[in-house]
Amino acid sequence: MSARYIFITGGVVSSLGKGLASAALGALLQARGYKVRLRKLDPYLNVDPGTMSPYQHGECYVTDDGAETDLDLGHYERFTGVPARQSDNVTTGRIYSDVIAKERRGDYLGGTVQVIPHVTDAIRDFVVSDITDEDFVLCEIGGTVGDIEGLPFLEAIRQLGNELGRERACYIHCTLLPYIGAAGELKTKPTQHSVKELLSVGIQPDILLCRAERDIPQGEKRKIALFCNVRESRVISALDVDTIYAVPLTYHREGLDVEVLSYFNMMKEGQEEEIDLSRWSDITRTVRAPEGEVTIAVVGKYTVLLDAYKSLAEALVHGGIANNVRVKLNWVESEIFETDDPVPYLENVHGILVPGGFGERGSEGKIQACRFARERNIPYFGICFGMQMAVIEAARHLAGIEDASSTEFGPAKNAVVGLLTEWKKGNRVETRGENDDKGGTMRLGAYPCILEPGSKTQEIYGERQIYERHRHRYEVNVGYREKLEAVGLKFTGMSPDGILPEIVEREDHAWFIGVQFHPELKSKPFEPHPLFAGFIEAAVKTSRLV
């Protein structure tokens, strides 16, 4: 049977939770036995979010096949367990880049290249490509209805809806019902105007997800249904919840999955409750009523916008789920430690995590955090840049290499960390130059790592070879391995050719591990990443000693 397409749009304001709504609906359809695929169409002109500052668009999520994508794909993977691919995220920039490349090759046979049909055709081709036996394809459209850059995407999905027919295309619109305190009521007018805007581009929403702070009275739902030309049962409340992992449960309770399947004539009478959501109930129960609490300090450089660390924060929650504890996160700006003593910020935490990052700003503060964790025997987890700073810290303060540094910060006499210019990916050799384009030129995607037998990481994984996702330009210089291992920093994970250090750890410490990859990208609530589970387990032991 051909796939059915569900298009999710948003109106009034951004950050209404389209990504979470898509992920939750995908999880609900999956729980009913259907195979799903989730996609994100982003209207910005960047080819991908890889060159964006995390302050602009939150974290850049990386897939196994090396795509730099929108952070919503992280939600999709965490909720459904379906690995995202390069073909699941596209931007205006990539669409235009492909269209212009075709024009330069003469593929359009001398025709005038226009937004309609050429750009919209490229978008449509993307939406329906790389689909095999999926029952449902959920496509989220980034931005809000009315954004000028989003018009080609809305036109493309309007055309697709006509082509596929109502039996294979459904439009879900997320909108806002603000509560006006002075009036003491929820206001439906923003939703009405948002739907009107969508209608102006030829799309009639079939289901409305209405975001609100409090319960929506039935009378207001009736009013929305009347003015927006939507069946009353398809005006779905989308209320705030205390944990995102309760979203599938609340949407099911509101009837979203039933209404979607009813729309496609796939819901028979009496099947409404034929769904197993026990794993979501178990997860939310653990999150809401844990047996204990640990405090983790995250010493980063983008802590002003926590979306910059979205997958990291969720992976720490998953580590808490694995140990039945609540994980309290103290976000610490690393630059503080370049002028202030770290003791007041870190002395009462049960674990310290230094995440990835780019550039010199805040690096000395991260090195101070590494040193504090090492000297105080506090569990330490360094990810990507956090591993590199741990290596530089050991080189400076233990191995006597006082000028140890990274070429990322400028010329270095002792480049313990240096620019990666050549590496293997499968049977292919990748090369990069210092002056090459920045976009898409890092070591990206899943690579193998061989673990040292008997090491802590090998014990944690229970395997000799692992595959983890990378996103970086600089590598630890293996030439310093002997000096660093002599002072206790062991290289316990290496690339198969033995050239690229992937994991370092200390045997003389409660839990001290640095990894060059990003394990947070593969963690899920029902399948916590073993490194995060192990890190939080160590933090629990530390909390009992305090």
What DSSP assignment string belongs to 484-541?
A: HHHTTEEEEEE-TTS-SEEEEEETTSSSEEEESS-GGGG-BTTB--HHHHHHHHHHHH
The whole-angstrom separation of Cα 189 and Cα 541 is 53
Question: Are the C-beta atoms of 313 and 329 separated by less than 8 Å?
Answer: yes
- Give the whole-angstrom CA distance, residue 448 versus residue 465: 7
Helix (H, G, I), strand (E, B) or coil at 208: strand
Q: Is 125 helix (H, G, I), strand (E, B) or coil?
A: helix
Catalytic site residue from 314, 520, 529, 537: 520
What does the alpha-carbon distance between residue 479 and residue 31 come to, in Å, rounded to a whole number?
50
Strand partners, 297: 330, 352
Token pair 């640990």 in the structure block, residue? 294
Work out whether the CA dihedral 201, 203, 204, 206 comes out positive or negative: negative
Radius of gyration of the chain (CA): 25
Q: Is residue 518 annotated as part of the catalytic site, yes or no?
A: yes
CA dihedral 158, 164, 165, 168 (to 10 degrees): -110
Q: What angle separates helix 247-254 from helix 278-288, to the nearest 10 degrees?
A: 130
Q: Taking a C-beta distance cutoff of 8 angstroms, is the pair 296, 316 a contact? A: yes
Dihedral angle computed from the Cα positions of residues 414, 420, 422 and 425, in that order, rounded to the nearest 10 degrees: 140
The catalytic residue among 118, 173, 518, 529 is 518
CA angle (110 as vertex; 108, 115 as ends), nearest 5: 55
Q: Which of 139, 370, 384, 449 is catalytic?
A: 384
Catalytic-residue membership of 174 = no
Q: What is the Cα–Cα distance from 255 to 236, expressed in whole angstroms?
A: 7
Give catalytic status of residue 520 as yes or no.
yes
Interior CA angle at 302 toward 415 and 432, to 5°? 40
Tell me the C-alpha distance between 311 and 401, whole Å: 34
Active site residues: 384, 518, 520
